[in-house]
Structure 1
Amino acid sequence: MSSAEQDQKVINDGAVIESQGEQTKPVSRFTRWYRSPLFNVIIVGLISFTQPGIWSALNNTGAGGQQEPYLVNASNSLTFGIMVFGCPLFGILANKFGVKKVLILGTLGYAPYSASLYVNNRYGTEWFVLFGGVTCGIAASALWASEGAIALGYGDIKDRGKFTGIWLGLRELGQLIGSSIQMSLNAGKDASSRGKVGYTTYLVLIALQCLGLPLSFLLSPPQKVIRSDGTSPRDPTKGKTFKEEARKIWALMKRKQMYLLIPILVGFQWNTTYLGIYMTKYFSVRARALGSLTAGIAATFANIFWGWFYDLKCFSRPTLAKICWASFVLLMLGSFGWQVANEKLYGDSNPRITLDWDLPGFGRGFASMVMLRFLNESHYMFVYWIVGAFFDDIETLTLAVSIVRTFESVGSCISFGIGAAQVAPMVNLVISFAMFGFTIPATSAVVFMVPERPIDLRKAEAGETSEAETGSVDASEVSEKNATKA
């Protein structure tokens, strides 16, 4: 056994002894299952299914199912604008008061937004949609800051690909079920023209979103989680102050691994706004419902495939990162070129074109949309896996996820704002294309920094772990830190 392996075994054995020392009675099989990382990740996935999953099901029909996209784009821009400030705030609060409490708060704001779409669809009320955007922004800030930290931080590093796939895959289950309901309610011949989905669609989806709150009470706090080796994540709330956590999140954002990710966080998914406009402008109501369903299937496949691929033992983590990023770049550039050709064809058509599955040429326009949805979900998986490849402790992961969500929200806020400004679809698409090109150099630099094992930043900063000995981080970083301390 190598020196690094022996040191790691001592650390793990010490954690087991400490964990067992805290237990006052034997742990039953049911308790081990209920407190297991897998059970908790499934619960987080089911909550995500009822909240952003249903939100995505509505959004992927184009404009939340409405006939015109502009009011919904304005509401979404408001939502993500709130999240720019809300995600880091709730990341700090999660480390101070606990991820479970913050997650519970995150289940309270999505249903009012869906209810506002119902009221607007049936009665034409517009102010409620903007109010729903506010409640959704607050709830999403709390949910997004906590759920990713749980999915990445509760389990071991060897399971992170699988757990991320389960979490995001269950979220897409929400889109699949929601889209199936929409499809069943909007598949008739009377929906073969442009328009909006029936208002009964929203009632079923609102009912599903109300299940998120009771599910959130099943979650275990990190210190009660029991991993397969008997250890538990450290309680991140002990001895925390708001000022200290704010300092930590700022210090984390200044690390090269984080600030070089900012371009891809801001710029990758600008095409989401364009796709909403594309669906409402060129597709019939039932084709939009089919598009939402098919996008959910594509995203679910992406989660399952990449969750399996990221945990492969035949490649090192640095090699996996390079393979995945090179694949994304080539596929995205090809997909954007395909979509520009489609937009040119449909935008210049006279009379105005409406694509329906009964009509010729439907497959070309539909397939490019599905491909972009697949790549967008692959991007989610890639970013979270990258963050999990750098950091190991749940405290750092909570703050890192909040940073990720903050800059994703910046990009979404700006892109939905452009979508609400009624710019031409081709202009929106070209901006999305340019933004993706802008992300390539910085993200490539991050990919070449991926280590074989992540850092426990809490221990590294406290000087409890020799990073060079454990192989968790670059030895040059350790020398630099030690020199600074000296």
Structure 2
Amino acid sequence: MSTESRIEAGNTSVTGSDNGNRSTLWKLWTNSWFQIILISFICFCCPGMYNALSGLGGSGQVDQTVAANANVALLSATAGTALFVVGPIFDRVGPRVCLLLGGWTYALYSGSLLCFNSTSNGAFVIAAGAILGVGASFLWVAQGAIMTTYVPESQKGRAIAVFWIIFNLGGGVGSLASFGLNYGSTTGTVNDGTYIALLVIMAFGWLLGSLICPPSYVRVAELQVTPESEKNWRQIARHSVKTLCHWQVLCMLPLFFSANVFYSYQQNAVNGMNFNIRTRSLNGALYWMAQMLGGLVMGSILDIPGLTRPMRARVAWVFLLVTGMAIWGGGYVFQKWSDARLLRGFKQDIDYTQGSISVGPMFLYIFYGAYDALWQSYCYWLIGAQSNSPAAAAVLVGAYKTFQSTGGAMSWRVNAVETPAMTQLAMNWGLCIGSLIIAIPTVLAITLTSEPAPSATDEKGYLESEGPQTEVVKS
């Protein structure tokens, strides 16, 4: 063989190897489960670390008023942008751009708390909270659309469970780090190192958003991508209104509204007012780790192989009702005990080493965390049961975040004006059970598949056909 021939053969071999490597990386990148895990780790770094902060009670500050008002600003901004601003933008630019637009705002918020430790500049914290509210809209709409449509219908419960485990591992790890950094603290506020560490992790999560795959590249047969010809503002607005005004969605709105109403009470009135700083950090870790278990349990219920999808929806609803009554009932007993202690002057004093008085309240806080995961996992599954279109899912997730944030802003404001803790508990309990009852028609209307009927021509796939969808179980 001549020298030229050998060189030519070698080049062909290298080129073939490069093509094979590129093909393997492409298949990995466009794999639906790789994308689910990737978005889970992005949320581990950004909202997961934010949860670690907020779970400390007052975001780790002695004065909880600034953090409560920052949360009002955050949730109000999210409520004002998630549905009618970010939802339509998602359909135009896709999930990657949305994540890059929103992710950096988490690091900004952590930086504002770092600044507050030195300057007591509450206005900056509140402004950063409002900016984070807009950024969170972009992140959560993209996350919800990915989680509810990038996998087949038979795997949506598992996708939600995997996401919830990894995402809340972020809150758990962040809270454990805070527990270690503040173990010997006697100041009642977390140190600068806590905020710096969380800021760095949040910034890394923002950069991971550049690896998210567009919907058109994902290899899932049931996924329904919006045609380019329909990506104009008029079509998007029409589709958004039609999606939102469907009666099944309207019955879900109270569920969405109630999804965050209990955070202010649990984090400030329960954790923030009763435990010292290191135990609040430990409770935060246990709270978010309990969410991992809650997400796994609800995801398992929603993917039980031997039950049809309508039956799984009903079993999960009953489970949510029964556990809710039990946990909030336990919360009522605790709150009576806590109110009596506060009247005697005991505040932020319980340490995890005081087993006689700490074990019961700490376990209640763990159950509160698990119930949050049960609730939100069920909401996301109901959203995923409406459509396999990322465009429709973005609208529904936008509605979810809008009403969730509206309820959250209301509850944080109720907390900021120092409403009695027992009143806050009664409000949360009533809203949760009442919204479950209102959602019954939607739960009973869940069909075997979200695939459009054969006569439907709309490629977006959201309930365009009259009557029930085709009753073919998809794997």
TM-score by length of 1: 0.86
Residue 197 (structure 2) pairs with residue 204 (structure 1): yes
TM-superposition CA deviations, 1:356-411 (whole Å, max 9, x none): 11222111111111101110111111011111112122221111111111111111
Pairing of 1:72-83 with structure 2 (within 5 A): 72-83=67-78
Pairing of 1:321-360 with structure 2 (within 5 A): 321-349=313-341, 350-353=344-347, 354-359=349-354, 360=356
Deviation at 1:412, TM superposition (A): 0.7
Tell me the amino acid that sits aligned with residue 322 of structure 1. Answer: R
Tell me the amino acid that sits aligned with residue 133 of structure 1. Answer: G
Residue 260 (structure 2) pairs with residue 269 (structure 1): yes
* Aligned counterpart, 2:58: 63
Give the 3-state SS of the residue equivalent to 1:109 in structure 2: helix
**C-alpha contact (below 8 Å) 2:114/2:195 kept by paired residues:** yes
TM-superposition CA deviations, 1:409-436 (whole Å, max 9, x none): 1111111111111212122112212222
Pairing of 1:468-479 with structure 2 (within 5 A): 470-471=470-471
Q: 1:312/1:469 Cα in 2 relative to 1: closer, same or farther (>3 Å)?
A: closer
**C-alpha contact (below 8 Å) 1:236/1:394 kept by paired residues:** no
Deviation at 1:295, TM superposition (A): 0.8
* Aligned counterpart, 2:241: 250
TM-superposition CA deviations, 1:189-239 (whole Å, max 9, x none): x44xx8222222111000000112321111111112224x6x875256543
Pairing of 1:127-138 with structure 2 (within 5 A): 127-138=123-134
* Aligned counterpart, 2:3: none
Tell me the amino acid that sits aligned with residue 210 of structure 2. Answer: F
Tell me the amino acid that sits aligned with residue 215 of structure 1. Answer: L
TM-superposition CA deviations, 1:232-284 (whole Å, max 9, x none): 75256543122321222111111111100111111243221101222111101
* Aligned counterpart, 2:16: none
* Aligned counterpart, 2:107: 111
Q: 1:437/1:310 Cα in 2 relative to 1: closer, same or farther (>3 Å)?
A: closer
Deviation at 1:167, TM superposition (A): 2.0
Distance 1:459 1:274 in 2: 49
* Aligned counterpart, 2:291: 299
TM-superposition CA deviations, 1:25-68 (whole Å, max 9, x none): 99823321121111111111111111111111111111111113
TM-superposition CA deviations, 1:283-310 (whole Å, max 9, x none): 0111100101101210111222322332
Pairing of 1:27-176 with structure 2 (within 5 A): 28-88=23-83, 89-176=85-172
**C-alpha contact (below 8 Å) 2:58/2:68 kept by paired residues:** yes
* Aligned counterpart, 2:209: 216
Tell me the amino acid that sits aligned with residue 471 of structure 1. Answer: E
TM-superposition CA deviations, 1:71-91 (whole Å, max 9, x none): 111111111111112101111
Residue ranges of structure 2 left out of the alignment (5+ in a row): 1-18
Q: 1:459/1:84 Cα in 2 relative to 1: closer, same or farther (>3 Å)?
A: farther
Structure 1 range deviating more: 52-61 or 445-454: 445-454
Distance 2:345 2:105 in 1: 42
Q: 1:459/1:377 Cα in 2 relative to 1: closer, same or farther (>3 Å)?
A: farther
Give the 3-state SS of the residue equivalent to 1:422 in structure 2: coil
Q: 1:459/1:83 Cα in 2 relative to 1: closer, same or farther (>3 Å)?
A: farther
Pairing of 1:413-432 with structure 2 (within 5 A): 413-432=409-428
Deviation at 1:164, TM superposition (A): 1.7
**C-alpha contact (below 8 Å) 1:393/1:457 kept by paired residues:** no
Deviation at 1:468, TM superposition (A): 5.9
**C-alpha contact (below 8 Å) 2:301/2:316 kept by paired residues:** no
TM-score by length of 2: 0.88
**C-alpha contact (below 8 Å) 2:449/2:472 kept by paired residues:** yes
Tell me the amino acid that sits aligned with residue 131 of structure 1. Answer: A
Q: 1:365/1:257 Cα in 2 relative to 1: closer, same or farther (>3 Å)?
A: same
Distance 2:264 2:395 in 1: 27
Distance 1:145 1:459 in 2: 30
Residue 221 (structure 2) pairs with residue 225 (structure 1): no
Tell me the amino acid that sits aligned with residue 72 of structure 1. Answer: A
Q: 1:413/1:271 Cα in 2 relative to 1: closer, same or farther (>3 Å)?
A: same
Q: 1:120/1:453 Cα in 2 relative to 1: closer, same or farther (>3 Å)?
A: same
Tell me the amino acid that sits aligned with residue 306 of structure 1. Answer: M
Distance 2:167 2:386 in 1: 24
Deviation at 1:458, TM superposition (A): 12
Residue 251 (structure 2) pairs with residue 260 (structure 1): yes
TM-superposition CA deviations, 1:433-473 (whole Å, max 9, x none): 22223213212222111111114499836399977683279
Q: 1:425/1:168 Cα in 2 relative to 1: closer, same or farther (>3 Å)?
A: same
Q: 1:146/1:166 Cα in 2 relative to 1: closer, same or farther (>3 Å)?
A: same
* Aligned counterpart, 1:484: none
* Aligned counterpart, 1:317: 309
Distance 1:394 1:59 in 2: 30
Q: 1:304/1:127 Cα in 2 relative to 1: closer, same or farther (>3 Å)?
A: same
When the two chains are superposed, the root-mean-square deviation of aligned CA atoms in Å is 2.3
Q: 1:306/1:435 Cα in 2 relative to 1: closer, same or farther (>3 Å)?
A: closer
Give the 3-state SS of the residue equivalent to 1:377 in structure 2: helix
Percent identity between matched residues is 21
Tell me the amino acid that sits aligned with residue 447 of structure 2. Answer: P
Deviation at 1:108, TM superposition (A): 1.8
